[in-house]
C-alpha cells in the first residue's frame, strides 16, 4: 500500500496494469500547471476495480457507453475490465484527485454475512460501474485519514490504514444503496444510444462471431455511421472493441479453469491460431503462459 504525488509538471498518461499491494493501492495526485491543459489519458481497462474521486477541477469521464460530468467530491466506481478514460473540461491549472485500486477478492475478504461490500459494483441496467454524486464535505474526512495513515510509520498505522479504507468502502456502499432506493435519475450523465445498443449486443453475444455489419443492421444504420460514432465515443473501432471484449472473456474463462481450447470457443473465436496470436498481442503472454502464471 502506498501513496504517490505528482510533481508540478505536465502529466503523463501512465496506466497501471497490476496491483503493487496484496490489499489495495491508494494514490493522491495534485497536478498544477503554469497554463491550462487538456489531460487526456488513452482508453484503457484494469484487471481490478477502481475508485476515482475528483477533489478539484472538472472532468468528463467516459466509461463504456456513458459519459459522466464530474465535479469536486463526485466518485466513480469503475468495475474491472470496463473501458474508460477522462478529459479535463474546466480551463483550470489544477487537477486534484484520488484513486484506489483493489481486487474483488479484497471486498469478499472483508464482507460479512450482514454486510456485502461488493454491492456497489452490482450490475444495474447492464452496468457494473457506477457514479456517486457525493460532495467534498462527505469524502474529505476519508481521504484525509487515508493520506495520514498511508504516510505514517507509527505502530499500528498499517492496521488503521486498512480500517480507514474499509470504512470508506462501507460509506460508498451505503451511498450506493441509498441511491438505488431513491431511484433518482442522474442529470449529469449522457449516453450515445448507437454505441449503447452496439455494446450491449456485443456483451450478450461474446460466445458467437459478431460482425460490424450485424451491429449496424440491428439499428438500421450504415456500417460507416456506426464505426464513426463508436470510435468517437469509445476510442476503438467496433472490430477492435469486439476483439478486446472477447479476449477479456477468454482470459476470465482461463482464470476459471477452462482449457485453452474451451476458452477460445467460449469467446467466439473460430480460428485457434488467430486466438493465440491475438491473446499474446493483448496480454503479452500466450494463453499457456497466462495459465502457468496463475496456477
- 162 shares a domain with 38: yes
The pLDDT of residue 127: 84
Contact of 28 with 151, CB cutoff 8 Å: no
The count of structural domains within the chain is 2
The pLDDT of residue 40: 54
- 28 shares a domain with 161: yes
Q: How many CB atoms lie within 10 A of CB 218?
A: 12
- 73 shares a domain with 185: yes
Q: Which of 189, 204, 236 is the last residue of a domain?
A: 189
Residue 178's domain comprises 24-189
The pLDDT of residue 17: 66
The pLDDT of residue 124: 85
Find the angle CA(182)-CA(186)-CA(187) to the nearest 5 degrees.
Answer: 135
- 79 shares a domain with 182: yes
269: left (phi over 0), alpha (psi -120 to 50) or beta: beta
- 205 shares a domain with 183: no
Would residue 4 count as lying in a domain? Answer: no
Q: Which of 172, 189, 206 is the last residue of a domain?
A: 189
- 223 shares a domain with 184: no
Would residue 259 count as lying in a domain? Answer: yes
The pLDDT of residue 65: 82
Q: Please list, in sequence order, all residues whose beta carbon lies within 8 angstroms of the beta carbon of residue 80, skipping any fewer than 6 positions away.
A: 45, 46, 47, 48, 49, 50, 104
Would residue 11 count as lying in a domain? Answer: no
Would residue 178 count as lying in a domain? Answer: yes
- 177 shares a domain with 85: yes
- 210 shares a domain with 97: no
Distance between CA atoms of residues 26 and 165, nearest Å: 9
Give whole-number Cα distances, 40 to 43, 60, 62, 234, 269, in Å: 9, 10, 11, 13, 33
Would residue 125 count as lying in a domain? Answer: yes
- 215 shares a domain with 115: no
- 225 shares a domain with 121: no
The pLDDT of residue 1: 44
Distance between CA atoms of residues 201 and 217, nearest Å: 12
Would residue 1 count as lying in a domain? Answer: no
Would residue 8 count as lying in a domain? Answer: no
CATH code at position 267: 1.10.10.60
Show the low-confidence residues of the chain (pLDDT under 70). Answer: 1-17, 33-42, 90-93, 184-189
CATH code at position 170: 2.60.120.810
- 216 shares a domain with 163: no
Query: From the centroid of its chain, how far is CA 245?
Result: 14
Would residue 15 count as lying in a domain? Answer: no
- 183 shares a domain with 238: no
Q: Which of 169, 189, 209 is the last residue of a domain?
A: 189
Amino acid at each position: 500500500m502506498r501513496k504517490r504525488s505528482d510533481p508540478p509538471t505536465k502529466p503523463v498518461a501512465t496506466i497501471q496494469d497490476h496491483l503493487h499491494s496484496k490489499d489495495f493501492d491508494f494514490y493522491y495526485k495534485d497536478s498544477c500547471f503554469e497554463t491550462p491543459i487538456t489531460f487526456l489519458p488513452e482508453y484503457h481497462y484494469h484487471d481490478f476495480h477502481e475508485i476515482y474521486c475528483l477533489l478539484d477541477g472538472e472532468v468528463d469521464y467516459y466509461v463504456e457507453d456513458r459519459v459522466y460530468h464530474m465535479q469536486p467530491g463526485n466518485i466513480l466506481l469503475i468495475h474491472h475490465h470496463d473501458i474508460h478514460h477522462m478529459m479535463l473540461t474546466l480551463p483550470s491549472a489544477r487537477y486534484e484527485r484520488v484513486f484506489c485500486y483493489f481486487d474483488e477478492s479484497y471486498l469478499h475478504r472483508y464482507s460479512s454475512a450482514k454486510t456485502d461490500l461488493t454491492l456497489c459494483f452490482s450490475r444495474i441496467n447492464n452496468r457494473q460501474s457506477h457514479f456517486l454524486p457525493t460532495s467534498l464535505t462527505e469524502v474529505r474526512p476519508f481521504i484525509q485519514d487515508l493520506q495520514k495513515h498511508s504516510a505514517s510509520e507509527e505502530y499500528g498505522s498499517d492496521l488503521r490504514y486498512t480500517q480507514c479504507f474499509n470504512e470508506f468502502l462501507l460509506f460508498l456502499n451505503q451511498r450506493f444503496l441509498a441511491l438505488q432506493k431513491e431511484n433518482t435519475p442522474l442529470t449529469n450523465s449522457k449516453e450515445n444510444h448507437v454505441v449503447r445498443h452496439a455494446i450491449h449486443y456485443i456483451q450478450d453475444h461474446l460466445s458467437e462471431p459478431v460482425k460490424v455489419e450485424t451491429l449496424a443492421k440491428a439499428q438500421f444504420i450504415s456500417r460507416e455511421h456506426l464505426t464513426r460514432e463508436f470510435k468517437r465515443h469509445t476510442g476503438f473501432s467496433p472490430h477492435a472493441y469486439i476483439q478486446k471484449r472477447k479476449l477479456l472473456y477468454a482470459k476470465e474463462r482461463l482464470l476459471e479453469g477452462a482449457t485453452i481450447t474451451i476458452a477460445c470457443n467460449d469467446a467466439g473465436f473460430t480460428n485457434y491460431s488467430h486466438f493465440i496470436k491475438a491473446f499474446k498481442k493483448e496480454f503479452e503472454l500466450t494463453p499457456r503462459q497466462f495459465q502457468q502464471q496463475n496456477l
